[in-house]
Amino acid sequence: MAILKIARMGHPILRERAADVPDPTAPEVSRLVDAMIETMEDADGTGLAAPQVHMPWRIVVYKVEDERAGTEEGDPDGAGGVPLTVMVNPVVEPVGDETNVGFEACLSVPGMAGPVRRHSQVRVTYHTTDGEEVVRDAEGFHARVIQHECDHLDGILYPMRVEDMGQFGFVDELSRCHDEAADD
């Protein structure tokens, strides 16, 4: 399939609530998922939500590389990477009250990064493209990725959640004054 064009902040599709997928096993869903994976990998992103490729459906793909897991304050020791995951109609719930702040970036907001407070632990329930229902618990950076991607399905971009706009900026400028580089 093809590499899809990624909508950037300001495009109205990124502010819409995406629709539930009526049949996660439909062939057109699998075709879209394949193209989303290809697009995410080409852009070197951690995750991608369907509205980012102009498709207003509740579909998310993500993959947490080993070197990214366990890098966040509050991450448990030994948290590993997460294999490529496809979530159709995901529903996220916080687990516990703990939150933490970490830098995020987004393929729809290229070149920028900013600090966002997220729940440290979440539970997500979703369907696979085989129609199976999965319940997955996640914490730390993995939980952050899930919350960021599922926000896209509700028309929310991470800059809307940045509390300290003084720390929001261009990655290459931020990295001049911070040794800890911002997210990719």
Q: How far apart are CA 122 and CA 112, in angstroms?
A: 25
Q: How far is the CB of 104 from Ni ion (least distance, A)?
A: 8
Q: Is the CB of 91 or the CB of 160 nearer to Ni ion? A: 160
Size of the site for Ni ion (CB under 5 A): 1
Q: Does 149 qualify as catalytic in the annotation?
A: yes
Q: How many CB atoms lie within 10 A of CB 130?
A: 11
118: β partners: 100
Check if the beta carbon of residue 118 is closer than 8 Å to that of residue 17: no
Residues 78-117 that bind Ni ion (CB under 5 A): 106
Residues 1-40 that bind Ni ion (CB under 5 A): none
Q: How far apart are CA 113 and CA 5, in angstroms?
A: 21
Q: Is the CB of 76 or the CB of 110 nearer to Ni ion? A: 110
DSSP state of 92: E
Q: Which residue out of 72, 104, 139, 149 is catalytically annotated?
A: 149
- 36: CB partners within 8 A, 6+ apart: 4, 48, 50, 53, 59, 61
Q: How far is the CB of 131 from Ni ion (least distance, A)?
A: 26
Q: How far is the CB of 152 from Ni ion (least distance, A)?
A: 6
Q: Is the CB of 23 or the CB of 163 nearer to Ni ion? A: 163
Residues catalogued as catalytic: 149
Residues that bind Ni ion (CB under 5 A): 106
